[in-house]
Chain A
């Protein structure tokens, strides 16, 4: 298992470097100049702008800038935001916990929905439970997250006024009330993300369990007289989870995309909304750093999925 982990890590690092190259190339090729706004300022003469460009190293060839940026990132110096005038890593560290909390909770919700519903649907295929669950799953992943978010806001915040729809990170209450207020305001974003993911995962879990449940060893277990529930939990689920884990990991990039949209709707101060603000204000260091953080998170989750895959199916890690 140790060598398997090592091999997976060795594959993950070049992917990360590859992503950083793609990212840097995109930003380097783009038109637009971070000092474009200064150009409009009559108080800043042209020579001063040239000096600023040279001092920031914007005139050097692309590959030099790339390696300088890479070295700086690895050292922990993530640059200085053009707009917010704070260090980029401070900005990101402020916002990452919120995003991770919302995404984490929504994934847990999605799993809590998809696993039981998918397994039960597959245990009794084409029964009324299965048909209703499949139809609801279809409806669930055909509804775009922004539409569901707007509908939920309409229902719960405007008509019923049960939940606040603007997320506030600085809640003044303490103790029990603090947790309660946080729960109330995160309920809708977590629901929106979790339901969308849960709907598509239900279909995957169902088809994965259906594939396993017809295999010979399940029939053997049944003929041995084991209870159906034991068969399901100990034999079927463990083997059916293998493709599901892979699919969950491959969908991680999409989850972060969904989180960006949800953060815009509910005004959650996470890294998704930081990215959009930075894009709209042409704040290049923040854009680079946030996209890099997203890529790292994706690769970390792929790595976790590979490790889980190796643990669930011992045949993989001995190759």
Chain B
């Protein structure tokens, strides 16, 4: 099942990466004669209220949504592994302080703070880096910034159990410094659950980005991420349901395949199989 999903996800990524090169309709082509057209040969997914081709917009939005998902996951994993490793290898007050910080972040209400931070800092970053890159950095930083906590906990738990194993003791006896022990010995062995958490994080990040765009607080309005297309489409549900259906299905398919892959990975890496 997971392998099937891997193939499907691979197809989606390929479609999103190479699709716009093959499908020549621009995302900006306004064509008032073909407003809200249902799927046809010329426009396989139909058109929106300005006559723009939905397939082209979905493909373009896919690039952004998937890129945001991957980047946010990488950031969450990086921060989480860093904090979890530092907490796991040290004892005493450093560990307690980092865990208190993690618990604090876990209690923060995610979506309200996400909305506030994006709304407040969007213009500053737009001025500094340009519209698209600035918003991308902001959204990735904020989404990733809320997902590092479970990773940190996992890494810390793994470190606690691996710290006392014989091979680490052997490295210590051979004179390895603490950083070398961590990087060369403990860290590679603790990454199993982290990979699983990472795949789930991609799915969660895609949903988070779509939610932000759906609430109108994501990327600027002319960039057609999947959530944004749904935001535009939700007022036209009665006359043009196809407009909302396809980006929603795209989100659903991406998240579903990623979840299945994560589940398959978890089953593969977990030694306790149910018989």
Measuring CB to CB, which residues of chain A are less than 8 angstroms from any residue of chain B? Answer: 15, 18-19, 22-23, 26-27, 30-32, 125-126, 138-139, 141-147, 150-151, 153-154, 158, 210, 250, 253-254, 256-257, 260-261, 264-265, 275-276, 279-280, 287, 290-291, 294-295, 298-299, 302
Contact = CB atoms under 8 A, between A and B. Distances in A.
Nearest to A11: B103
Interface stretch (B13-21, B165-173, B237-245): B237-245
B244 A31 contact: no
Interface in B191-232: 203, 207, 210-211, 214-217, 227, 230
Interface of B: 103-104, 106-113, 115-117, 119-121, 123-124, 203, 207, 210-211, 214-217, 227, 230, 234, 237-238, 241, 244, 248, 251-252, 255-256, 259-260, 263, 274
B256 to A, nearest CB: 4
Nearest to A254: B110
Q: Which of A23, A253, A299, A302 has the most CB of B within 10 A?
A: A253
A275 B207 CA distance: 20
Nearest to A139: B256
Nearest to A15: B107
B237 A158 contact: yes
A275 B120 contact: no
Given A30-B121, A154-B237, A144 B255 contact: yes
Contacts of A144: 207, 210-211, 248, 251-252, 255
Contact of A150 (B112, B119, B244): B244
B259 A295 contact: no
Nearest to A271: B112
A147 B107 CA distance: 27
A260 B255 contact: no
Contacts of A295: 107-109
Tell me the dominant secondary structure on chain B's binding face: helix
Nearest to A288: B116
B112 A275 contact: yes
Contacts of A126: 274
B112 A298 contact: no
Contacts of B263: 138
23 contacts: A22-B108, A26-B113, A27-B120, A125-B274, A138-B263, A139-B256, A141-B259, A142-B252, A143-B255, A144-B252, A146-B230, A150-B230, A150-B248, A250-B106, A253-B108, A254-B111, A260-B112, A260-B115, A261-B215, A279-B115, A279-B116, A287-B116, A291-B112
Contacts, number: 122
B116 A150 contact: no
Nearest to B1: A135
Nearest to B249: A147
A265 B234 contact: yes
Given A26-B116, A144-B207, A145-B211, 20 more contacts: A23-B113, A26-B113, A30-B120, A31-B120, A32-B120, A144-B210, A147-B251, A150-B248, A151-B248, A154-B244, A253-B110, A256-B111, A260-B215, A265-B234, A275-B115, A279-B217, A291-B112, A291-B116, A295-B107, A302-B107
Contacts of A254: 110-111
B115 A276 contact: yes
Given A19-B107, A150-B234, A253-B109, A26 B115 contact: no
